[in-house]
């Protein structure tokens, strides 16, 4: 409630759960200090920044010490530093209170950092559910991305067919003029790729190697980029609600 102070919001939330006044006072002080709001606890919520409002929301959600806490995109629209602070708070309260936290987020690095298990959801359907490490391992190996300057598609196709026959190569895909090779032991494979390219008269203009990220996992399971047009509209609506609330 924008017209109430931080203290008053905490008190109101505590009374909703029928907590005794002395318990509300003790837990409010503890949580407001934990979330660095104690010095501003007597100020009205309407004077808080977006990050402070997020932290107050979390504090209010914790005052009755729930066994399960749902956080719906708690860092949406926040700057990098405030987002990092929220991550630290979530990890701290989970460890100290032993609670189960359900977190929805569009930030894949956030899910990777905070979650023990991740469900990738596309249009209401769970496409994958596992630990971050196993999801990344499910892609099948490291990712080698290369760009070829040859104009002849026939030469490129023959080259890729030779690469695909290698035992360590799991899959090859193309997108926007770049070719992605999924393979195990990519460090040793790269020299072999260059050798085959030389024999096939293929000019590799650039090549990179990386370990799979959750963004790669999402793309592999859904077949599209994470922030497509539909997602952008949804984000825009959420941002408008956030802006209205922070005014």
- CATH number where 120 lies: 3.40.50.300
pTM of the model: 0.62
Residues of the chain with pLDDT under 70: 224-247
Q: Which two tokens stand for residue 144?
A: 């080698």
For the chain, helix (H) and strand (E) counts, in that order, are 10, 8
**Cβ(31)–Cβ(63) below 8 Å:** yes
* Category of 116 on φ-ψ map: left (φ > 0), alpha (ψ -120 to 50) or beta: alpha
On whether both 169 and 114 belong to a single domain, the answer is: no
Say if 110 falls within a structural domain: yes
On whether both 16 and 66 belong to a single domain, the answer is: yes
Q: Domain with 157 in it: what CATH number?
A: 3.30.70.100
On whether both 53 and 163 belong to a single domain, the answer is: no
The predicted pLDDT at position 228 comes to 44
The predicted pLDDT at position 238 comes to 61
On whether both 17 and 107 belong to a single domain, the answer is: yes
In whole angstroms, give the CA distance from residue 242 to residue 223. 30
The predicted pLDDT at position 34 comes to 80
On whether both 165 and 75 belong to a single domain, the answer is: no
Burial class (CB in 10 A: 0-12, 13-18, 19+), 214: buried
Say if 228 falls within a structural domain: no
Q: Which two tokens stand for residue 140?
A: 């099948």
Say if 48 falls within a structural domain: yes
The predicted pLDDT at position 216 comes to 82
The predicted pLDDT at position 46 comes to 93
The predicted pLDDT at position 239 comes to 56
In whole angstroms, give the CA distance from residue 10 to residue 171. 54
On whether both 37 and 119 belong to a single domain, the answer is: yes
User: Could you give the number of structural domains in the chain?
Assistant: 2
On whether both 111 and 47 belong to a single domain, the answer is: yes
Say if 88 falls within a structural domain: yes
The whole domain housing 83 covers: 6-133
* Distance linking the first and last C-alpha atoms of the chain: 13
- ∠ CA 218-87-66, nearest 5°, is 100
On whether both 129 and 149 belong to a single domain, the answer is: no
The predicted pLDDT at position 230 comes to 46
The predicted pLDDT at position 119 comes to 94
CA atoms within 13 A on the CB side of 76: 20
Say if 237 falls within a structural domain: no
């Amino acid at each position: 409630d924008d017209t109430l102070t931080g203290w008053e919001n905490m008190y109101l939330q505590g009374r909703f759960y029928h907590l005794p006044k002395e318990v509300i006072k003790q837990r409010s002080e503890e949580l407001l200090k934990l979330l660095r709001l104690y010095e501003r606890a007597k100020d009205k919520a309407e004077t808080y920044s977006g990050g402070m409002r997020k932290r107050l929301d979390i504090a209010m959600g914790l005052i009755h010490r729930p066994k399960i806490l749902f956080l719906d995109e708690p860092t949406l629209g926040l700057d990098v530093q405030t987002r990092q602070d929220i991550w630290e708070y979530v990890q701290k309260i989970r460890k100290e209170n032993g609670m189960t936290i359900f977190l929805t987020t569009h930030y894949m690095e956030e899910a990777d950092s905070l979650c023990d298990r991740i469900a990738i959801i596309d249009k209401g359907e769970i496409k994958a559910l596992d630990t971050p490490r196993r999801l990344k391992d499910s892609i099948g190996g490291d990712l080698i991305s290369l760009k070829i300057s040859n104009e002849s598609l026939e030469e490129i196709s023959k080259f890729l067919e030779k690469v695909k026959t290698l035992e360590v190569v799991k899959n090859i895909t193309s997108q926007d003029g770049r070719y992605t090779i999924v393979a195990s032991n990519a460090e040793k494979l790269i020299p072999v790729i260059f050798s085959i390219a030389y024999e096939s008269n293929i000019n590799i203009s650039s090549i990179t190697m990386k370990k799979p990220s959750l963004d790669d996992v999402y793309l592999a399971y859904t077949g599209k980029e994470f922030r497509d047009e539909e997602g952008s509209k949804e984000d825009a609506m959420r941002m408008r609600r956030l802006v209205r609330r922070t005014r």
